Structure 1
Amino acid sequence: MIRALSEAHGASGFETPVRKLYQTYLEPVSDEIVRDHFGSVVGKKVGKADGPSILLAGHLDEIGLLTKAITDEGFIKFQTIGGWWSQVMLAQRVTIQTRKGEITGIIGSKPPHLLSAKERDEVVKIKDMFIDIGVSSKAEAEELGVRPGDPITPISAFVQLGNPNVYMGKALDNRLGCATAVEVLRALKGQDHPNTLFAGATTQEEVGLRGAQTLVHHIKPDVSIALDVGISGDTPGIDGYDALSALGKGPILLIYDGSMLPNPRFRDFIMDTASDAKIPLQVESIAGGGTDAGRFHMYGSGVPSVAFGCTTRYIHSHAAVYHQEDFDHGVALLTEVIKRLDHGVLNDLRDL
């Protein structure tokens, strides 16, 4: 499932292809499928109808590009969707989703033979980049179906790396969260839990947590958990206190992000559950970004919320890396949390 979701296309605002695929995974493990009018989708599983309602959601969208214009020579100028860093973009393969089908292209780059010493030390600005689809005129590009507004996403196969538990693929931010929601539903199949769970994924997180805002109004949860990814601090060049987590040491619980301070009682409840269940857990603090919990927690008079997920390397690029055991431990911990989250716990979470 993670492979299929990773390789599916779904830039922010254009999640339909991955949403349709994702729904096929939700349906067998849900009592009912629930959708809002913004593309978000969750599976509903009733444990106790009069228990707390819990929203557990990743986000379907990935960072991408948008066709802005076609030059007279047939090159594609683009607008970024979500947060890109220019240094990870040049010479990378992409696919343009047109009304006539998918077209492969490459973000063009000048060969080093033609670069002056000064140019080699300069960063190419995104506004100066273009995509080459192998045609020689605007008319040829239009004949293939390309037009302004078409979404563009990275091409990157999902592959196993040297450690058999470590995988690389595109859009792991946040197809890992989407897959987690499905696996929690699967783990609860036939199990008792003192609540009603809504587990699935939002849309347009990467452009401002937009789908989270519509979904939380649709579900009206008592408690929410945003499923997202963290930044692994175990690679060269990252200070150990800038990114606290590492691959293979357990899922992460965010103690701070740019969109939310987590409910402290909910934070402690998850930490205590991990300790009781002997499941490894890491903490992470990310000042430079937010999660869907940033919208969930402000719904109505307030929703106790946390953000939780897998640590990953190289997010917001063509390929990221994660550890499968972190994913599996995350599913196990969330399943245990759902089994314990009754009205007594909810009342405690609200008593701030």
Structure 2
Amino acid sequence: MDKQLTMMKSLTDANGISGFEYDVKKIMEGYLEPVSDELVSDNLGGLFGMRKAREGSRTLLIGGHLDEIGFMVTQIDDNGFLKFTPVGGWWNQVMLSQRMNITTDKGVLTGVIGSKPPHVLSAEARKKPVEIKDMFIDIGVASKEEAVEAGVKPGDQVTPHCDFTEMTNKNYLMAKAWDNRFGCALAIEVLQNIKEEDVNINLASGATVQEEVGLRGAKVAANKIKPDLAIAVDVGISWDTPGMSEKDGVGKMGDGPLVLLLDGSNIGHVGFRRHIEKVAEEKDIPIQWSAITGGGTDSGAFHVSNEGVPSVSIGVPLRYMHSNISVLNREDYNNAVNLVTEIVRSLDDSKVEEIIW
């Protein structure tokens, strides 16, 4: 496994739902420190590698987010089954009989979201999705006391179990938490790409926390760093699988990074978007223009921070978003890294002023 895949595996295999990002942050810190002039962290846990401009005073923020969707343990019943609540957006139809990791103070335990055998379900019951409030996690114990002895407590985080995997076509990469360890990996690689270069924009490249529960960490990070421009790097929707229609949205794996015209939280800043389009054309980097009317990314918080920060979201098409397993294309990822790297190289104070106006 090469260095890029090793980094991707370490980031996606790590467990870190919103509010529990510390293990992912430690991994991120190890990659950012060698390629940064300094590290900056906010009080909620966001982490950024800083590069100082050779000339110029303007600042660009590149932000992925450390957190993934998952669950939190809320109760342990008398028989040792765990009740839980979602952290982030889930569709209950993807959850039953899925393997889960429960991170306790004593270590990580294996569990499974239980399901009834079809033999005991009526025809009507088979048609109805099970409500999340009626689900439970089985960790393989016989009592509440045994679960507590194993280290389980209310408040523990729960994450899907999926080992990082290269698929049949090695460009197709399967993992949990691509949303948004993709953005974490990209933020690291951009700094690696410019490690030996002088740039003319101050750069903060890293990741926020608690994006999946309302873009909370992005507010804090932008107020800490006070950027002049911001790029939220996050996954987008892949419309190229059965049951998904490309007439309903733009996003095909292998056709390049996504640049969002708008989403539910931000209208991509027109001046910045036009600059990105010019950079992509000059560097022959394929891009796809996407519009997502529902949901949002950290650009939704970046752009309304301080006195206003022109912001755009850049991502890659992702299959099976907000489920236990997701798939992205390595070529799309590399093109996204190249695009954001070239944007950094293209900026200086005068260009920032031109974009803002």
TM-score by length of 2: 0.97
Q: Which amino acid aligns with 2:165?
A: V
Name the structure 1 match of 2:291. 285
| Secondary structure, aligned partner of 1:235 | coil
Name the structure 2 match of 1:330. 336
Following the alignment from structure 1 to structure 2, what is the Cα–Cα distance between the partners of residues 57 and 2?
17
Name the structure 1 match of 2:264. 258
| 1:33 maps to 2:60 | no
Q: Which amino acid aligns with 2:329?
A: H
CA RMSD of aligned residues (A): 0.9
Cα distance, 1:348 vs structure 2: 1.6
Q: Which one of the candidate residues 201, 220, 227 is aligned to 2:226?
A: 220
Name the structure 1 match of 2:83. 77
Name the structure 2 match of 1:182. 188
Following the alignment from structure 1 to structure 2, what is the Cα–Cα distance between the partners of residues 52 and 108?
53
Name the structure 2 match of 1:89. 95
TM-score by length of 1: 0.98
| Secondary structure, aligned partner of 1:242 | coil
Following the alignment from structure 1 to structure 2, what is the Cα–Cα distance between the partners of residues 6 and 112?
33
Name the structure 2 match of 1:2. 8
Q: Which one of the candidate residues 23, 26, 46 is aligned to 1:17?
A: 23
Name the structure 2 match of 1:137. 143
Following the alignment from structure 1 to structure 2, what is the Cα–Cα distance between the partners of residues 114 and 283?
48
| Secondary structure, aligned partner of 2:17 | coil
| 1:102 maps to 2:97 | no
Name the structure 2 match of 1:234. 240
Following the alignment from structure 1 to structure 2, what is the Cα–Cα distance between the partners of residues 297 and 241?
29
Name the structure 1 match of 2:120. 114
Name the structure 2 match of 1:203. 209
Following the alignment from structure 1 to structure 2, what is the Cα–Cα distance between the partners of residues 259 and 79?
25
Name the structure 1 match of 2:320. 314
Q: Which 5+ residue runs of structure 1 have no aligned equivalent?
A: none
8 Å Cα contact 2:167/2:173 also seen in 1: yes
8 Å Cα contact 2:56/2:349 also seen in 1: no
Tell which deviates more after alignment, 106-115 or 201-210: 106-115
Cα distance, 1:192 vs structure 2: 2.2
Following the alignment from structure 2 to structure 1, what is the Cα–Cα distance between the partners of residues 288 and 57?
29
Following the alignment from structure 2 to structure 1, what is the Cα–Cα distance between the partners of residues 149 and 170?
44
Cα distance, 1:241 vs structure 2: 2.8
Following the alignment from structure 1 to structure 2, what is the Cα–Cα distance between the partners of residues 111 and 284?
41
